[in-house]
Amino acid sequence: MTEVIKVGLVGYGFASKTFHAPLLMADDGMSLQAVSSRDAAKVRADWPHVDVEASAAALFARDDLDLVVIPTPNDTHYDLARAALAAGKHVVIDKPFTVTLDEAESLVAQASRTGQLLSVFHNRRWDADFLTVQALLERGDLGRVVHVESHFDRYRPVVKSRWRESEVPGGGIWYDLGPHLIDQALVLFGRPEAILLDQACQRDGARVDDYFHAVLRYGQHRVILHAGSLMAAPAPRFALYGTQGSYIKHGLDPQEDMLKRGERLPTPEWGEDHRHGLHTVPDMHDDGAHPELREVPTKAGNYPAYYAGVREAIHGRGKNPVPAEDALSVMQVLEAGRRSAQSGRFEPLT
């Protein structure tokens, strides 16, 4: 393998076009060599010098690729990743890892046997707000945290004709946005004791869940994960409450919108979010009736760090930024959540 890692991209839908291709092209240590797509003109309109293969199988058969990236519909992840690993490629899969825990465990075992890197694109570990929350918790600014709310609220009243909103394996908002919020919770707090999940189809014509409200139980500490599609006035993105104060942050990380607008990295202000959070510090000398309000500058988001980490891991100079075992833990919570939604009870994760 040369110093520059040569990459093949499976498909050229929304995730490939918006996230993966621009992030790969922005990394000097990676080269997007080929894309598998039935619409070569669409690929070449954005990347005229990239090869286009007619199928994923043809892409995997190329001997000039080190890494294959799979940002395809959720129910295709397992078969494609299995074939790519068998072809001797390192593999990145978009979230969710797979649509079942059994599939995820099978891929982890396969990658372990072959020695290939297997990573999952949990890019929201590098959201501006999440990096800020991480720093707050590491410093202990809020004391002992007892209640956390993590919202991914959007206003999308019209049901679209696409696989994410169809009755297919891995469809629905729990498998779309749930992995983001679950992964962040696991990074911050580790494995919960149990989960209680409520799901609903709230929009006219919705065929799969477009709302969820999950409660993760950590002893007496609770983490709420919430997403909805009819939130014209969204709740705070993060709300954390602890023994020494609270932190409230509004607004989603700006990087997805930057990529949708076609902004290309690097730019001087990449990932900057000027909607800062508010740290409420109670007056510890009385009943807390006269709190001090402190603005908390939001750290810059950094999606490019993911592929930089993948590059360094392949070269043996760093750790896998999102090991498959981490994504396996997310799958365990996703499936426990589904059982909870069916039973109406907390489902254990011990």
DSSP conformation letters of 76-141? GHHHHHHHHHHTT-EEEEESSS-SSHHHHHHHHHHHHHHT--EEEE-GGGG-HHHHHHHHHHHHTT
Element (H, E) at 21: helix 21-26
Query: For 16, which DSSP code?
Result: I
Q: Which residue has the tokens 């994504």?
A: 327
Residues 327/101, Cβ–Cβ less than 8 Å: no
Q: What pLDDT is stored for residue 286 in this prediction?
A: 63
In angstroms, the CA 259 to CA 257 distance is 5
List residues bridging with 225 in a β-sheet.
150, 214
Coil, helix or strand at residue 244 = coil
Helix 324-343 vs helix 178-189: angle between axes, to the nearest 10 degrees?
Answer: 110
The DSSP line for 284-336 is: TTTTS-S-EEEEEPPPPP-THHHHHHHHHHHTTSS--SSBHHHHHHHHHHHHH
Residue among 203, 190, 270, 259 nearest 231 (CA): 203
Q: What pLDDT is stored for residue 136 in this prediction?
A: 97
Letter for the amino acid at 130? Answer: F
Letter for the amino acid at 207? Answer: R
Q: What pLDDT is stored for residue 129 in this prediction?
A: 98
In angstroms, the CA 274 to CA 111 distance is 41
Give CA separation, 103 vs 10, 82, 167, 214, 262, in Å: 19, 10, 19, 24, 34
In angstroms, the CA 68 to CA 91 distance is 5
Residues 152/177, Cβ–Cβ less than 8 Å: yes
Coil, helix or strand at residue 230 = strand
Q: What pLDDT is stored for residue 284 in this prediction?
A: 73
Residue among 243, 99, 101, 112 nearest 171 (CA): 99
In angstroms, the CA 295 to CA 245 distance is 13
- The gap from C-alpha 192 to its chain's centroid, in whole angstroms, comes to 19
Q: What pLDDT is stored for residue 41 in this prediction?
A: 97
Q: Which residue has the tokens 């007056």?
A: 283
Query: What parts of the chain have a pLDDT lower than 70?
Result: 1-2, 286-289
> Mind listing the domains of the chain with CATH numbers?
5-121 (3.40.50.720), 125-301+333-348 (3.30.360.10)
Q: Which residue has the tokens 């839908």?
A: 13
List residues bridging with 121 in a β-sheet.
94
